[in-house]
Amino acid sequence: MNSASAAQPKNSKTASSAIHASGDKRFKMLDATIKRYQYQQDALIEILHKAQELFGYLETDVLIYVAQSLKLPPSRVYGVATFYHLFSLAPSGAHSCVICTGTACYVKGAQTILTELEKSDNIRAGETTPDGQVSLLTARCLGACGIAPAVVFDGAVLGNQTAETVHDWIHRCSAECTKEG
C-alpha cells in the first residue's frame, strides 16, 4: 500500500450529534477545539481551520458535524467552507506543491514554471498526479516576493525556483512512493 492511501482520511459515512458514531478519534480532537471556543458560532472559521488540519480536507460529514455542534444551518457552514480558498472539500495528494502566481512571481517566471510542468509532467494547477502523490496548487502571493518565484513544498517555502527544481521535487515524491510500494 502506498503512503497516499494511508494518509487519506477514513471515510466515515455516519453523521451524528455530539459524540461521533464512527469512533474516529479526530472528532474528539475537533470537539476539544469547539469546546475551547465555547460553541461560539463566530468561531466557525477557526473551527474549520482545525477540522481541515485534522482531516486533510472538509468532507461533508465533517461539515455536518460542525454545523450540528455550533447549531448553525448546514447551508451556512457549507457557504463559508466554499467561500474561502484555503478550505478544500476534496481530498488532495500526499504531498503538496503550491506555486505562487502573485505579481512578483508572475513577472519572474511563475507562469513559465506552470506551462513547463504542464508539458513535462502533464499536470495542471489544481490537479493531483495520477499516482495520487502530488497536488499542484497555486496561491496569490506568499509574502516572500523578495525571493520570487516562490514555491511551497509540503509547507516549506523555497525561493528562486525554476521549472527544473519543481519538476525534480515532484519526481522525488513519486519515486519515494514507488520505492515504498
Partner 1 sequence: MDLAELLEIAKKERASEKPVQVRCCMAAGCLSANSEAVKKSLDAAVTDAGLEEQVQVTGVGCMRLCCQGPLVEVKGEVKQSSVDKPVAEETLGTLYEKVVPEDAPSIIGTLTGGETTVQKGDLAQPFFTYQMPIVLENSGKVDPERIQSYIAAKGYQGLYHVLREKTPADVIDTITRSGLRGRGGAGYPTGVKWATVAKAKGDRKFVICNADEGDPGAFMDRSILESDPHRVLEGMAIAAYAVGANQGYIYVRAEYPTAINRLQIAIRQAQRLGILGTQIFDSRFDFKVDIRIGAGAYVCGEETALMASIEGKRGMPEPRPPYPAESGLWGYPTLINNVETYANISPIIRKGAEWFASIGTEKSKGTKVFALAGQITNTGLIEVPMGTPLELIVETMGGGVPNGGIVKAVQTGGPSGGCIPASAFNSPVDYESLAQLGSMMGSGGMIVMDQTTNMVDVARFFMEFCMDESCGKCIPCRVGTVQLHHLLTKISEGKASMTDLALLEELCETVKFTSLCGLGQSAPNPVFSTLRYFKEEYLALIKQGAKV
**Binding site residues, ligand FES, CB under 6 A:** 100, 102-105, 141-146, 148, 150
> Can residue 150 be called a binding residue for partner 1 (CB under 8 A)?
yes
Choose from ligand FES, partner 1, none: what does 15 bind? Cβ within 5-8 Å by kind.
none
Out of 83, 90, 130, 179, the only residue in the binding site for partner 1 (CB under 8 A) is 83
Q: Does the bond joining 9 to the residue before it have cis omega, within 30 degrees of 0?
A: no
C-alpha cell at 158: 523555497
For the segment 88-147, give every residue that binds partner 1 (CB under 8 A): 102-104, 106-108, 139-147
Closest approach, Cβ 177 to partner 1, in A, equals 25
Is there a contact between 99 and 113 (Cβ–Cβ < 8 Å)?
yes
> Can residue 41 be called a binding residue for partner 1 (CB under 8 A)?
yes
Closest approach, Cβ 162 to ligand FES, in A, equals 14
User: Which pairs from 169-172 meet CB under 8 Å and 24+ separation?
Assistant: 169/97, 170/97, 170/117, 170/121, 170/123, 170/129, 170/133, 170/134, 170/136
> Can residue 84 be called a binding residue for partner 1 (CB under 8 A)?
yes
Residues near partner 1 (CB under 8 A): 40-46, 48-49, 76, 79-80, 83-87, 102-104, 106-108, 139-148, 150, 156-159
